[in-house]
Structure 1
């Protein structure tokens, strides 16, 4: 039993790789390092530096390492940027998934865990999202993830690939000080960068219909997320039937002000966030229900908001 993690040199992927190691499962990383970091791959883990679009190279890697399943995390993950760069987004996320599926069929690899996104839901009419909530993505990124799910389901029917797709919102925290979220667009890195540079973090809007006026979102710890990716892989490898889609959600969410308060406490920097205008289209509250995932793939919110913030701060990049 050996699993490949595409995008395994990235923030989430590197945590999934470590979770596989802790479970005693052999793993190989495939990453083109367009946003990943070579030093995020643990010593002793085979590393294949190639583009997912290079189908022959991916096929060769699957065969060479005796891969029996893939956790597919590689892709272009910036929803806002995807609006300006839709063709790049579709090439990386849709064509890349087609290439991976072709390679898996050619190499006889029959198990796939797809790291999808709650961006597939767009702005749902309900503030608690379940797996039956209608999908209505609002960006090329969200669309590309939904198309990826369709492609995988079609390949499952045609070629017998066993699969499941995991949807989630905001991934935060760190399992080790060596692995930081370096995204230039995510809330936690933006707050950390501001505090590190002596600037005051900013909240976009404080007049939402929520208890403290700031919008509420799902924030899940990256280690909890990685645990469920590996659990899903083990279930597929063991022949268990899984749902086509699972939400990895908290069920209640956290407000932006709660996040800011936690940062002030964790860093010892007492600050009052600047208040800016609302961002267009930002709903009051979107939270995912993780009941099905808790039942089937060891999903649990094992980390508090304090854990999330403290671990992210401890892993912050230092020049």
Structure 2
């Protein structure tokens, strides 16, 4: 019995690999390395370079390794990019996920955990957002994820496959043991961007929108440490294996920080200043997005371990600094 992690060479996926290995699971990774790195995959995991829509490859992996569960991270994640390239997002996120789910059903996989997003929710909802809030994605990215949730819901009725759709808010930080972190060049995650600026890898940080109805005019997000996020996935896997049934759950802390607060945290922890430029709002961005994660806490018995902005930024800075040293030595 083993777990297949798609996108396991990427940011969140590589942390998931370590989380499961630490708990004694057998782990197999499929990643096409479009944005991930083979070196980021823990050596104890079995790695296949390939696409999740390659049904022949996926069926081989399922049969060879006795896969009982799939945790699906592979996909495109940049919200403004999805507005500019909607067809690419529907292909990569929706169509390829549908192909993967079909391979799972044909291979007899019983459990499927899906990397969804808070971008499925309607704009202007009452915060914090719970799982019963109105879903009305404002971007192709959000819609591409919601479509996969619906596919899973329908498939679970017709086939012996249960699922967990985990709706992420804003994922940040790095493994406290220094084994994994956000390594993608040109990544748009705010914490990654400010850490790069603090270390001189970027000339400045852009603030997109300073006129939101928030405490300081900048967007507010519910940042969740990546280590807490992957723990939710592991607990969801336990829940499904124990017969707990399919579920949808938010992944966040229930409170947020503004863009300016993240910038100031990075300045404080690094002891370095860096230029900040103010720009207009980006398409698809909302003023504030905060989670109600009561379901994950209750149903999965999840309790956060890294619920502090400075801890999140400090771990991300440590990882970014390590990348600088690694690249200098290469």
TM-score bracket, shorter-length normalisation: over 0.9
User: How do 1:137-152 and structure 2 match up within 5 A?
Assistant: 137-152=137-152
Partner of 1:6: 6
**Cα shift at 1:269:** 0.8
Gaps of 5+ in 1: none
**Superposed CA offset, 1:23-63 (max 9, x none):** 11111111111111101111121011111111111011111
Q: In structure 2, do the counterparts of structure 1 residues 79 and 205 end up closer, same or farther at CA, with 3 Å as the change threshold?
A: closer
**Superposed CA offset, 1:65-116 (max 9, x none):** 1100111111111221122222221111111111111111111111111111
The yes-or-no answer on 1:184 pairing with 2:190 is no
CA contact (8 A) 2:195 2:313 kept: no
CA contact (8 A) 1:6 1:71 kept: yes
**Cα shift at 1:271:** 4.9
Q: In structure 2, do the counterparts of structure 1 residues 206 and 197 end up closer, same or farther at CA, with 3 Å as the change threshold?
A: same
TM-score by structure 1 length?
Answer: 0.94
The yes-or-no answer on 1:257 pairing with 2:257 is no
CA contact (8 A) 2:80 2:283 kept: no
Tell me the number of residue pairs that the alignment of Structure 1 and Structure 2 aligns: 318
Partner of 2:110: 110
Q: Secondary structure at the match of 1:129?
A: coil
Q: Which segment drifts farther, 185-194 or 153-162?
A: 185-194
Q: Select which of 233, 236, 241 maps to 1:237.
A: 241
Partner of 1:223: 227
User: How do 1:2-151 and structure 2 match up within 5 A?
Assistant: 2-151=2-151
Supply the RMSD in Å over aligned alpha carbons.
1.8
**Cα shift at 1:149:** 0.4
Gaps of 5+ in 2: none
User: How do 1:151-300 and structure 2 match up within 5 A?
Assistant: 151-175=151-175, 176-181=177-182, 182=184, 184-195=187-198, 196-197=200-201, 199-243=203-247, 245-271=248-274, 273-279=276-282, 282-300=285-303
Structure 2: distance between partners of 1:208 and 1:85 = 26
Q: Secondary structure at the match of 2:312?
A: helix
Q: In structure 2, do the counterparts of structure 1 residues 161 and 254 end up closer, same or farther at CA, with 3 Å as the change threshold?
A: same
Structure 1: distance between partners of 2:154 and 2:146 = 12
